[in-house]
Structure 1
């Protein structure tokens, strides 16, 4: 068996770990994990699920990583035994089972233990179970969650059918990513990128702000949730318009968001943090690592008199930011907002996260049993940003969901912003030259 491998942490991981330490000091809940739950009806072989989970950890060394501090991590040669936790205290009691599922979804994954994926099973009956997956953001981003659920499904189903699993080889390892990322930032390319961000963010800081009236301080922290879904006919027109304008759907939604924010704030110069996947090459497709990052896109709409003119500026600003996007957001905050670095109580103003159906994977499938997602409520979720807009795009659908800090932002503002964004997207596809004077579009 090989020896443990010591590595430096990534800048993103250092910021997360320091934020964790401060959260514990302040008594603030950690936001380092994200969970998914599934209802499994039919035969579930716990020994095979344990075996599949162990093979997954053997395949992806990020899942066997422990963190001994903000600047050091160790990849262990094997995952700890007992990778699947079985709970039988809720047998025959649906309400107790659901309560246990929610408790398991909230359980922490200690950083100093080499276990970055938690798997729990809650038994309701011999042929009825819940399976809860808990992913650690230190090594697992949104794309990697899809990779892991797809591969766990394949491993389990193949073993259940008596076949040897066949998965594409991982040709670019977690250790390669850590070394390459740290080497890039320490070299001339990293310095060139920092020069770009110094010019772009030195006067404003790296943390996008939201300049709207707040609710009075002192309210209990809680999350709010609003959603809009555009009809298929509108989505087809929106996609066709984006193709004609040579922009992505993301750029189009971002431009609509900028225009709506400008109308509500009166500010031409807007900045939004957007989630990017950083999976441009084939060897990164099945890599489990925190490649996703927040990318600050700052755009000044002063003098942009039509939506088309604004869209061109957003396209340029987005491409420029992406070209220099290898610098982690946490490093930008450390450089330009040092007093707020790793502070869990300093929110980002607005975050845009565009999710595409082809990135998600199919979810967990423990064939031959029937597996379906079990919702963990969105309505109580309080994002770290004051407003997080999630766009979920399929071939013929576009859903826009706003998660927000309901103790800080008025619900009426979020309602008006979402309604205006939808109206913009539905209107400008036919009349992109309408003026942007106030509410001219």
Structure 2
């Protein structure tokens, strides 16, 4: 029976709206590509695999969506089912591991076009008759992590049935993604939205963004070339973590999140650590078998003030996470609009580090195909969404950590050290969960000895090393206060309040220099600026109100006035301070392009977003066109 809704203009979910807007802001980027790779060893039937993929795409209409807009307002269209292309790349005779790495990296770097589609890409790399790599790629706007598990599970069932000569008989999902969109729009009423936004405004009041120590400054252009680090933890350590979490009456997610919060707090000298947490968004059980983009980001704060015990921090985070479940429906972008943080190119608003733990049933590592040995491969991240995107996957053989990051900010040595410090905190906390978080040592015994040795090697200074406020040695790359061994001359020159017992050597004292310093990658001491990192100030738009000075300024002001539905008379008025949001921005840009006959992207409004600046950019483009 023909689906008469094919070709109908359908609304987007709130999460899809945000991803659509980000694509308008940075078209052609791969920030939100979802790439999964598997090494398949054994007799693979390529034709059956292609038929299986075709049946899956026909079964889940969201995978057949494309995205368009009318006057800046987005909508999606569902295409009719069709044969799915499985691209086969023959690399037989080549170095197999090198070919796998090269091909997966190349595929991950290919962007998706939301307008033309399709928003999936299936590729098979043939290494030998009995050795293949299957690469599944999607745009995040049509899929999320839970949906990947659905696709993997159903692909295995369909392939098995077709190989056995049987017709696959999967039960139809009770709902479609379009039903979720309609339910979401109905459920998040104005009153409910105001209530939930009120909760988030209170919960996130006074939030300070993390300023992580880095090897290079944050690029002014917002460029975020991706880097990856994958670490497999042995089964014994994974079991220790699960057992400890059970003893503490909490989850593996809360346990690793607490450890990450401790490390980030020590790295940044902050007692308030905001972490982005993806919520599944599938509050109706009938949505558990639906493929689509349901996930919504929320912010979990790890409060280290008062120096709680590690066990106390676990309780705090567990309690806070329950509130997240109760208030997960409000779209993240609307929370951002309500809080109105300062926007910085290349910095995600409200949080810079995200954390997720996926159980074995929802992990990509759970994929199997009958008759084949399947190995999960991690495709390279080409673009980083956050400063750190930390994912832990439970597997049959233990646990895998995958951390993606902007390689133009952080060296890999720093990321390796970070994961090592998280593991060290976990091991220390499991030995003594009652210890205050300030006393948990980040450093392994080898790191501790190396830091002490480095302090003896600084020319011109006699047990120089770098410590946090609690007196713990800090690792390379992390700023802290410089302590100097107090010789007789120093004691005579400085007053007594600057001295304290040496925490690392009996019968001696140290001088608190007040200088902020860190150890470089090769253990060289570097003195830093003493000023604590601050947040950029908002542009000052106070003062005398003027009127548009040029016809272009007047037209731009009129466009903003129409879209925002409020008077716009001052050419120095800022689009976002007037109440503009991402969807307003797309409507403004659509009208500017139509009115002036030019082509600008939404990025225009994310620099200097005053009427005067926008009009100046329009005049430049108009002049260049003529």
Same fold (TM over 0.5): yes
CA shift, 1:184, in A, is 2.1
Separation of aligned partners in 2, 1:335 and 1:125: 55
CA deviation after TM superposition for structure 1 residue 324, in Å: 0.7
Shift of 1:179: 0.9
Normalising by structure 1, what TM-score? 0.85
TM-score by length of 2: 0.61
Structure exhibiting the larger radius of gyration computed from Cα positions: 2
Secondary structure of the residue aligned to 1:6 is: coil
Give the 3 Å change call, closer, same or farther, for CA 115–371 of structure 1 in structure 2. Answer: farther
* Deviation by residue 1:193-246 (Cα, 9 ceiling, x = unmatched): 1110111234438xx533435524669854444455554444434323322322
CA distance in 2, matches of 1:308, 1:121: 47
Using CA pairs below 8 Å that are at least 6 residues apart, which structure has the higher relative contact order? 1
Residue 138 of structure 1 aligns to a residue whose secondary structure is helix
SS at match of 1:7: coil
Aligned to 2:32: 32
* Mapping for residues 421-436 of structure 1, pairs under 5 Å: 421-436=422-437
Deviation at 1:271, TM superposition (A): 0.5
Q: What SS does the aligned partner of 1:333 have?
A: helix
The answer to whether the 8 A contact 1:23-1:344 is kept is: no
CA RMSD across the alignment? 3.3
Aligned position for 1:288: 291
Aligned to 2:68, what secondary structure does the other structure show?
A: strand
In 1, the alpha carbon distance for the partners of 2:149 and 2:428 equals 34
Shift of 1:137: 0.6
Mapped contact 2:227–2:404 kept (Cα < 8 A): yes
More deviation, 294-303/93-102: 93-102
State the partner residue of 2:616: none
For 1:311 and 1:39, locate their aligned partners in 2 and report how far apart those are by CA, in whole Å: 38
Partner Cα separation in structure 1 for residue 185 and residue 232 of structure 2: 41
1:209 matched to 2:210? The reply is yes
Q: CA deviation at 1:430?
A: 3.3
Distance in 1 between residues matched to 2:186 and 2:218, nearest whole Å? 44
Gaps of 5+ in 2: 443-626
| 2:136 matched residue in structure 1 | 133
Among 164, 168, 177, the residue aligned to 1:165: 168
Q: Which residue of 2 is the match for residue 65 of structure 1?
A: 65
Task: Kindly state the Cα deviation for residue 135 of structure 1 after the two structures are TM-superposed.
Answer: 1.6
2:272 is the counterpart of 1:269: yes
- 2:5 aligned to which of 3, 6, 20: 3
Secondary structure of the 2:355 match is strand
Q: Is the 8 A contact 1:212 1:265 kept in 2?
A: yes
User: Which whole-Å deviations, capped at 9, do the CAs of 1:342-382 have from their partners, x for residues lacking one?
Assistant: x87334521112121121266555545x353473544x554
Q: How does 1:168-183 map to 2 (within 5 A)?
A: 168-183=171-186
Gaps of 5+ in 1: none
1:375 corresponding residue in structure 2: 377
Rounded to whole Å, the distance in 1 between the matches of 2:203 and 2:411 is 30
User: Is contact 1:86–1:123 with CA below 8 Å preserved after alignment?
Assistant: no
* Alpha-carbon distance in 1 for matches of 2:143, 2:235: 32
3-state SS in 1 of match to 2:9: strand
Question: May I ask how many residue pairs the two structures share in their alignment?
Answer: 431
Aligned residue in 2 for 1:84: 85
Q: What is the CA–CA distance in structure 1 between the aligned matches of 2:280 and 2:185, rounded to whole Å?
A: 18
- Looking at structure 2, the residues matched to 376 and 153 of structure 1 have their Cα atoms a distance apart, in angstroms, of 20
The equivalences for 1:24-423 within 5 A come to 24=27, 29-40=29-40, 44-69=44-69, 71-76=73-78, 78-79=80-81, 81-87=82-88, 98=100, 99=102, 102-113=105-116, 115-123=118-126, 129-204=132-207, 208-213=209-214, 215-216=216-217, 221-226=224-229, 228-279=231-282, 281-337=284-340, 340=343, 345-347=346-348, 348-360=351-363, 365=368, 367-368=370-371, 370=372, 372-373=374-375, 375-378=377-380, 381-394=382-395, 397-411=398-412, 413-423=414-424
Could you tell me how far apart the structure 2 residues matched to 1:412 and 1:125 are?
A: 36
1:164 match: secondary structure: coil
